Amino acid sequence: MSEDAAKTATQADSPKPEPQAAVAAGLPLLRIEAVVKKFGTFRAVDRLSLDIRAGEFFALLGPSGCGKTTLLRMLAGFETPDEGRILLDGKDIAQVLPHQRPVNMMFQNYALFPHLSVRDNIAFGLKRAGMPRPQINTRVAEMVALVKLEGLEKRKPDQLSGGQKQRVALARSLARRPQVLLLDEPLAALDKKLRESTQLELMELQRRLGMTFIIVTHDQEEAMTVASRIGVMDAGRLEQVATPRELYEAPASRWIAEFVGEVNLFEGQVAPHESNRLAVSTRDAGTIFVAEPRQPVTKTNVCVAIRPEKVKLSRRGPASDAINATAINRLEGVVSDVSYLGGFTTYKVKLDSGAVLRSSMANTARLDIDAYSASQRVVAWFTPDDCVVLEQ
């Protein structure tokens, strides 16, 4: 039993964790420095660096096999980095054994102890920390109330529903008041409705406790819902670390634009500059005007990305835009596919060049006066501000 673990588990009867030394000094709570993890010759995590601030809800998002779970397991101590440092509150914990870290994990399939009751599952970590019995009882009661499991304390995991198991797992991992809570695909086993309500509860809980949460997920909606910042991983590296909005509206690369949400992509070359905007001549969509990006474009071969909901359809195109008529991108084509999805409808428009443009429009009116039908000729339009230029 490490003293640190015992201290973090027994101290702080207030729900918020104690202020941390490194945080007070202005450093991030968790600093991952050039961490490498190899399995044979395969680099699961490849010189990855990341700072996570105290009180953040951070999501690691990526396709399966991108190394996000390996990174999480290194934070928990189940894997040891081959290179690099992991600083928690200023101390390198890369080589510290899992049972001596002030970090707890909520496991993907919950890993509840089948031979122990709900109560004993939650109390497990507290007993290991040597907490006195009365305090354990108080803390368990507190946790049971926190995750709304009152009345189920004596049940065994087999006697619980999936949602209840998830709550027990959460309570068990929170009971020790870890400095950082790691969540490995915590909601993957729940059905869609329950998953959505649990996401909101998780956010609410994190805000109330003021704890640092790091969640690993392959579900971008989940990441965007719960997290204040998202790190997108691919092939062992971080592709972008940003807020959900930045990630979606200003993706750093073509890969991210395609990975996060739907996107229309047009490859092309940057034409000589005009004032405050770029003209990109594409094969599939002619010349597209794009607002000048914050970072100047250095290459000529680029890719223009437009999210489907930014593409508006109309029968004749917008009535002349008095301010800057020429700046509006207009593409003509024929509707090839219509999918009505309730809140919005997605259209596929076959452009005259043969390329397909996706558009999604909110169904703001109940009657279908605005709807377009297949094989109808339409004008698809979007403004330069709706486009993002990505270097390839």
Q: How far is it, in rounded angstroms, from Cα 250 to Cα 271?
A: 22
Q: If we measure between CA atoms, which residue out of 264, 252, 187 comes closest to residue 218?
A: 187
Q: 54 vs 72, which CB is nearer to other proteins?
A: 72
Helix (H) or strand (E) segment spanning residue 138: helix 133-146
Q: Interface with other proteins includes 129 (CB under 8 A)? A: yes
Among 47, 53, 85, 128, binds other proteins (CB under 8 A): 128
Q: Interface with other proteins includes 125 (CB under 8 A)? A: yes
Q: How far is it, in rounded angstroms, from Cα 116 to Cα 216?
A: 27
Among 7, 12, 13, 78, binds other proteins (CB under 8 A): 78
From the CB of 13, what's the least distance to other proteins, in Å?
19
Q: Interface with other proteins includes 9 (CB under 8 A)? A: yes
Q: Interface with other proteins includes 189 (CB under 8 A)? A: no
Q: 109 vs 324, which CB is nearer to other proteins?
A: 109
How many residues interact with other proteins (rule CB under 8 A)? 31
| Encoded amino acid at 174, one letter | L
From the CB of 177, what's the least distance to other proteins, in Å?
12
Q: Which stretch binds other proteins (CB under 8 A): 32-40, 43-51, 103-111, 232-240?
A: 103-111
From the CB of 80, what's the least distance to other proteins, in Å?
13
Q: 154 vs 377, which CB is nearer to other proteins?
A: 154
Q: How far is it, in rounded angstroms, from Cα 155 to Cα 112?
A: 12
| 119: exposed, middle or buried (Cβ count in 10 Å: 0-12, 13-18, 19+) | buried
Q: If we measure between CA atoms, which residue out of 119, 154, 123 comes closest to residue 136?
A: 123
Q: 147 vs 263, which CB is nearer to other proteins?
A: 147
Q: Which residues contact 38 (CB under 8 A, 6 or more apart)?
A: 44, 82
From the CB of 140, what's the least distance to other proteins, in Å?
13
Q: How far is it, in rounded angstroms, from Cα 291 to Cα 278?
A: 6
Q: How far is it, in rounded angstroms, from Cα 317 to Cα 98?
A: 61
Q: How far is it, in rounded angstroms, from Cα 335 to Cα 112?
A: 52
| Encoded amino acid at 217, one letter | T
Q: Which stretch binds other proteins (CB under 8 A): 104-112, 246-254, 270-278, 308-316?
A: 104-112
From the CB of 2, what's the least distance to other proteins, in Å?
8
Taking each helix axis from N to C end, the angle separating 118-128 and 162-174, rounded to the nearest 10 degrees, works out to 20
From the CB of 196, what's the least distance to other proteins, in Å?
26
Q: Which stretch binds other proteins (CB under 8 A): 60-68, 113-121, 256-264, 266-274?
A: 113-121
Instruction: Give CB contacts under 8 A, 24+ apart, made by 333-340.
Output: 333/357, 333/377, 333/378, 333/380, 334/375, 334/376, 334/377, 334/378, 335/372, 335/373, 335/374, 335/375, 335/376, 335/377, 335/378, 336/374, 336/375, 337/374, 338/371, 338/372, 338/373, 338/374
From the CB of 294, what's the least distance to other proteins, in Å?
42
From the CB of 37, what's the least distance to other proteins, in Å?
16
Among 5, 54, 71, 247, binds other proteins (CB under 8 A): 5
From the CB of 158, what's the least distance to other proteins, in Å?
5
Q: Interface with other proteins includes 176 (CB under 8 A)? A: yes
Q: Which stretch binds other proteins (CB under 8 A): 122-130, 197-205, 229-237, 276-284?
A: 122-130
Q: Interface with other proteins includes 76 (CB under 8 A)? A: yes
From the CB of 130, what's the least distance to other proteins, in Å?
9
Q: Which stretch binds other proteins (CB under 8 A): 171-179, 315-323, 355-363, 372-380?
A: 171-179
- Could you say which residues in the range 150-169 bind other proteins, by CB under 8 A? 156, 158-159
Among 119, 139, 167, 172, binds other proteins (CB under 8 A): 172
Q: First CA to last CA across the chain, in angstroms?
A: 51
Number of Cβ within 10 Å of residue 243's Cβ equals 14
Placement of tokens 């599939």 in the chain: 284
Query: In this structure, are residues 223 and 215 in contact, taking their beta carbons and an 8 Å threshold?
Result: yes
Q: Which SS3 state, helix, strand or coil, does residue 156 take? A: coil
Rule CB under 8 A: which residues touch other proteins? Answer: 1, 5, 9, 76-78, 97-100, 103-105, 107-109, 111-115, 124-125, 128-129, 156, 158-159, 172-173, 176
